[in-house]
Structure 1
Amino acid sequence: MPHYTIAFARAIRLAAALSGMLLVAATAHAELADKDKPMNIEADSLRYDDKTQTSVFTGNVLITKGTIIMRGGEIKVRQDEKGNQFGDLVGNGKTPGFFRQKREGVDEWVEGEGQTVVYNSEAQTVVLKGNATLRRYRGTQLNDINEGDQIVYNSLTEVFSVKGGPNNASVTNPSGRVKAMLTPIPKDGATPAPASAEDGAALRPSNKIGEQRK
């Protein structure tokens, strides 16, 4: 099966020329640069539907967009007239869909998995569905782990919400309840120590995904 390396922005420009539509780039936000970076996709095959302006990439899918990395078996991608990008990623059967992104201004990364990963650049959210896991790394050290049936992470507000459910049930967790491991922020003099108060700010779980970070 042939292998394709596709720059999504280039594919969209080509689609726009064919359909006579002009795609407008989203307004840049320096503090959240990933939103306006081009989406680059590698896969074994591509099917494009000009009527719905949708591209389906299948087989060993790898997506990069600034610091964002996503991997899976298939992703369906579309872009609206404002330049917002939307992606529905699924795993390859044995391995769930994967998402990773650097937190703004600190040496921390957020990554997670789910049977389905739904990316929305307009809302700057990622939804992990089905045996979902969200982890936060401080440098290379694992700091927090959250598990549930569905996790919604908002990179703009840096707030996430976790829902339990029967799809999250296991032998050790038959009720499918939400599980979390939260590491205390190191005190002064401890190792590792945050460089500043801002560096030590952890992600805050919330039932309100739009809650602003304080």
Structure 2
Amino acid sequence: MNPATERLSQQALGLVVAALLSLGTGTASAEKADRLKPLNIASERGGRIDVANQRTEFLGDVVMSKGSILLRAERVDLRETGDGYYQAYASGQTGKQVSFRQARDVPGEAIEGFADQIEYDTRSDAVRFIGNAVVRRTVGTAVGDEVTGAVIVYDNRTEVFTVEGGQSSPHPTGRVRVVMMPRGAAATGGAEASAPALPLKPSTELQPPRKPS
């Protein structure tokens, strides 16, 4: 298989994974109240403010929060759009990736992920995990489901995942990997589940990672 065909195959696999992965039961989604909460950022070494371009750079153990959302990185480049939304470009350092966590509307559940870089857009309410990406659904301290790949995009509003394989995937061969824990009757050994799991909707395409200019 030539490299171009292999890349297409990996991307196709990722889209199938998005259709199969489930995030629990019912119609619960990411914490809806987070969209209305203020954005807060603190850093260890301060940063640089570019007023003309509405761009601020934060350096050193940066912590960004917005309601239940918590992002930690070595560097965050924050840009404000003309209509008041924010775009955050976060990067880690050797041996320490960027981390992201957000509570779900289901009590005790959360989405958490790690990657070499993370992009967060408050307008689309989407998170892009880039490079050695791992995203999990957690239930308390336990891992419910886990996805790994080169690029993972998570839409907070619809809870749709798109996953892409490649050289920067944590898997040695660059493949996408998904672990889905049993739930409902399968988890308890009962004959029937208390409520059917609702699968995530498949995405039709992946956009290439954006890079700060």
When the two structures are superposed, what TM-score results if normalisation uses the length of structure 1? 0.73
Aligned length: 172
Match of 1:207 in 2: 203
Q: 1:145 to 1:80 in 2, by over 3 A?
A: same
Q: Does 1:76 align with 2:92?
A: no
Describe the superposition over 1:122-174 as per-residue Cα deviations: whole angstroms up to 9, x where unpaired: 1110000000000001233211111000000001001101100012265xx3x
1:181 and 2:182 correspond: no
Match runs of 1:32-181 below 5 Å: 32-44=32-44, 45-168=46-169, 173=172, 175-181=173-179
Q: Identity rate of aligned residues, in percent?
A: 32
Distance 1:160 1:125, change over 3 A: same
Which residue type is aligned with residue 206 of structure 1? P
Instruction: Supply the AA of the counterpart residue of 2:200.
Output: R
Task: Note closer, same or farther for the CA distance 1:68–1:201 as it changes in structure 2 (3 Å cut).
Answer: farther
The one of the two structures with greater contact order (alpha-carbon pairs below 8 A, sep at least 6) is 2
Letter in 1 for 2:69: I
Counterpart CA distance in 2 for 1:158 and 1:133 is: 16
Q: Contact 1:159–1:206 at 8 Å: present in 2 too?
A: yes
Unaligned segments of structure 1, at least 5 residues: 1-30
What secondary structure sits across from 2:134 in the alignment? Answer: strand
Cα distance change of structure 1 residues 188 and 168 upon mapping to structure 2, 3 Å threshold: closer
1:163-199 CA distances to partner (integer Å, 9 max, x unpaired)? Answer: 00012265xx3x20101110011329939xxxx73xx
Aligned-pair CA distance for 1:80: 1.8
Gap change, CA 1:205 and 1:151, over 3 Å in 2? farther
Aligned to 1:24: none
- Offset of residue 107 of structure 1: 3.1
Q: Distance in 2 between matches of 1:188 and 1:133?
A: 25
Change (3 A) 1:189 1:119: closer
Counterpart contact for 2:76–2:88, Cα < 8 Å: yes
Cα deviation 1:76-121 (Å, max 9, x = unaligned) = 1112232211100001222111111012344310010111100011
- Which contiguous aligned blocks of 4+ residues in structure 1 show a shift greater than 3 angstroms? 200-203, 207-210
C-alpha distance in 2 between matches for 1:189 and 1:166: 34
Letter in 1 for 2:147: N
